[in-house]
Homo-oligomer: A and B are copies of this chain.
């Protein structure tokens, strides 16, 4: 029995597939970098045949990070899917292809219209095909092939055993057991995995993996039950993103194994102080906020109200605390620095928060920090995190905001006046009305840039507390079937809104959008 559980992150595939979560290639590269730093064992980077955007993202991630962790791509059990996945992945030093085929009676009958024998035949054929393709690369002696019988948790146990046995015999090195619709209970899922362990003769030649969905709130518990039964890989996502109610949350799975190592007897290689920073990166990148009472990474996860608890806490932290905030890189409202802190103290503080920035980036964040000190009395860690996030969204500025002005109120027509500069040097001024100043601002930006995307989502979040708190605005727009995301940060939410929307427009101008709809997999 291995002491370590393989953490297979599918934020960029199953997570990105959920409504409202699209990321463009630059954003995916940024998340992939953070996943590498977090120490995940496998990154499922996408579904290459789904769209040219998916292909490109997988290829770039494979090239950039394939020497640091294993990069995986998804494919249906079809030669063209597998070819396309291999094409995207082949330059990664550590590479896996993940193929899937549904096995449950309901999927066989209504989706695939295939009999059991056909499923078995196709499985063997395509696992073998995948392994053969990969083995053509001279350095690959044992191709890393993962096979998923989709909707496994609802598949007849004996048929599931047959499929798994034959997949392993054909060359699958990981067999992943998805609870595709989030129907399993922990005991039920434990039995599914145990049954495989007991009844598949060659089961020890492959790693058993779990892939649990959270429709009934049980994804984490089911994954852990799988580990108790002998699974040694967990598929999961940052913040539990994924189709519908999402997948097992990586941060919960990892911290349950770590905190209850006494019970589970296994661990992961995850660098847990990176959990909160990556949670925040994924939340702001996708616009999928984490609720305040979310386990491990929520704003309240380590907050103790006054009274009895605090009394106990003062006596001994373990009366109410089973993890330390530092263990997960939790950034509270810890007060901080003022404008007199100086460069050196600021750099030290960033290091303590887990950020080591290159000089140019450091300078930009430091400048923003000094500017913020002029507008805000107390600067908190959360404010600094927002400044760092802001920096990391580097988008070519086709259009640059020179100045803007808005007004509105009862009995007036809210209006925005804006001057933008194009990268070719032209300066354009215009004005537009709207339902409110923000709406007017967006109209006016559309008018000047001559782009008219559909606004799909608009969110404002206070970064820290107090009347002078930084506001972080995220917008999601759709333009010609592609999704674009923009983010802005300011103490003035109108200004933050303008920056966020203009960033989305600049992404449209630069052609950086993520694909709209594409072929999907619900593993």
What is the interface of chain A, defined by CB distance below 8 A to chain B?
Answer: 17-20, 50, 106-107, 109-111, 151, 180-183, 185-188, 214-218, 220-222, 224-225, 228, 239-246, 249, 252-253, 255-256, 259-260, 263-264, 288-296, 298-309, 311-312, 315-316, 318-323, 375, 401-412, 414, 417, 435-439, 442, 454-462, 465-469, 471, 490-495, 517-522
Determine if B457 and A295 form an interchain contact, defined as CB atoms under 8 angstroms apart: no
- Cα A490 to Cα B436 in complex, Å, equals 9
Residues on B with beta carbons closer than 8 Å to the beta carbon of A242: 293
Determine if B225 and A295 form an interchain contact, defined as CB atoms under 8 angstroms apart: no
List 26 contacting pairs A-B, 8 Å CB cutoff, sorted by A: A17-B305, A18-B303, A19-B305, A20-B299, A50-B307, A109-B316, A110-B315, A185-B260, A185-B263, A188-B263, A215-B295, A215-B296, A218-B220, A218-B221, A221-B222, A242-B293, A289-B292, A307-B517, A309-B520, A403-B409, A410-B495, A435-B491, A454-B467, A457-B462, A460-B460, A460-B493
**Assuming the A-B contacts A221-B218, A301-B244, A322-B182, are A439 and B491 also in contact, with contact meaning beta carbons closer than 8 angstroms in the complex?**
yes
Residues on B with beta carbons closer than 8 Å to the beta carbon of A323: 215
Residues on B with beta carbons closer than 8 Å to the beta carbon of A20: 292, 299-300
- Besides A243-B305, A288-B292, A438-B494, 10 other A-B contacts (C-beta < 8 A): A188-B263, A221-B221, A245-B296, A245-B298, A290-B291, A405-B409, A436-B471, A454-B466, A454-B467, A455-B467
Residues on B with beta carbons closer than 8 Å to the beta carbon of A309: 243, 520, 522
**Assuming the A-B contacts A462-B458, A519-B307, are A300 and B245 also in contact, with contact meaning beta carbons closer than 8 angstroms in the complex?**
yes
Contact of A185 among B256, B291, B469 (CB under 8 A): B256
**Assuming the A-B contacts A188-B263, A293-B288, A405-B409, are A300 and B19 also in contact, with contact meaning beta carbons closer than 8 angstroms in the complex?**
yes
- Cα A521 to Cα B311 in complex, Å, equals 11
CB distance from A240 to the nearest CB of B (A): 6
Residues on B with beta carbons closer than 8 Å to the beta carbon of A409: 403-406, 417, 494
Contact of A295 among B180, B183, B217, B402 (CB under 8 A): B217
Residues on B with beta carbons closer than 8 Å to the beta carbon of A107: 312, 319
Residues on B with beta carbons closer than 8 Å to the beta carbon of A252: 216-218
CB distance from A415 to the nearest CB of B (A): 9
Residues on B with beta carbons closer than 8 Å to the beta carbon of A493: 436, 438, 460, 493
Residues on B with beta carbons closer than 8 Å to the beta carbon of A241: 293
Determine if B406 and A517 form an interchain contact, defined as CB atoms under 8 angstroms apart: no
- Cα A390 to Cα B456 in complex, Å, equals 23
Total copies of this chain within the assembly: 2
Residues on B with beta carbons closer than 8 Å to the beta carbon of A303: 18-19, 244
Residues on B with beta carbons closer than 8 Å to the beta carbon of A296: 215-217, 245
Determine if A294 and B183 form an interchain contact, defined as CB atoms under 8 angstroms apart: no
Closest partner residue, chain B, to A310 (CB atom): B520
- Cα A19 to Cα B519 in complex, Å, equals 42
Residues on B with beta carbons closer than 8 Å to the beta carbon of A243: 300, 304-305, 309
CB distance from A219 to the nearest CB of B (A): 8
Residues on B with beta carbons closer than 8 Å to the beta carbon of A298: 245
Residues on B with beta carbons closer than 8 Å to the beta carbon of A405: 407-410, 412
Determine if B518 and A306 form an interchain contact, defined as CB atoms under 8 angstroms apart: yes
Contact of A404 among B312, B410, B468 (CB under 8 A): B410
Residues on B with beta carbons closer than 8 Å to the beta carbon of A305: 17-19, 243, 517, 520
Closest partner residue, chain B, to A292 (CB atom): B288
Determine if B244 and A302 form an interchain contact, defined as CB atoms under 8 angstroms apart: yes
CB distance from A172 to the nearest CB of B (A): 21
Contact of A375 among B215, B435, B437, B467 (CB under 8 A): B435
Residues on B with beta carbons closer than 8 Å to the beta carbon of A319: 106-107, 110-111, 151
Residues on B with beta carbons closer than 8 Å to the beta carbon of A518: 306-307
CB distance from A410 to the nearest CB of B (A): 4
**Assuming the A-B contacts A307-B517, A442-B467, are A492 and B414 also in contact, with contact meaning beta carbons closer than 8 angstroms in the complex?**
yes
CB distance from A217 to the nearest CB of B (A): 3
Contact of A517 among B228, B306, B312 (CB under 8 A): B306
Listed residue (A249, A402, A439) with the most chain B CB atoms within 10 angstroms of its CB: A439
- Cα A220 to Cα B323 in complex, Å, equals 20
